[in-house]
Copies of this chain bind each other. A is one copy, B any other.
């Protein structure tokens, strides 16, 4: 969750959803500096959301399963909330 809290990191994830990209592309697309992107990509990697593809240059690639897991978790909470909202029972206050 924290990994996705930063707007730039969310932008990175969105860009990587479309295609794997190397830092040179990300610099172009986001306008952020290389070192800053390096920091953010490290965090996204540590969070398990992206991985690297060594190529001519180092490409970064989204890990769909990790993102799907976050989505499923939130979706599950939403489903649970829908079910319990129907029961309409409230826990009494002390």
Q: Is chain A's interface secondary structure helix, strand, loop, or mixed overall?
A: helix
16 further interface pairs, Cβ-Cβ under 8 Å (given A71-B74, A71-B75): A1-B4, A2-B5, A17-B77, A19-B91, A20-B90, A25-B91, A25-B93, A62-B78, A62-B81, A64-B82, A67-B74, A67-B77, A67-B81, A68-B74, A70-B74, A71-B78
User: In the bound complex, do residue B78 and residue A68 qualify as a contact, i.e. CB atoms below 8 Å apart?
Assistant: yes
Chain A residues bordering chain B, tally (CB within 8 A): 46
Collect the chain B residues with CB atoms within 8 Å of residue A2's CB.
Answer: 5
Is A80 on the interface with B (CB-CB < 8 A)? yes
Is A16 on the interface with B (CB-CB < 8 A)? yes
Q: How far is the CA of A94 from the CA of B56 in the complex (A)?
A: 12
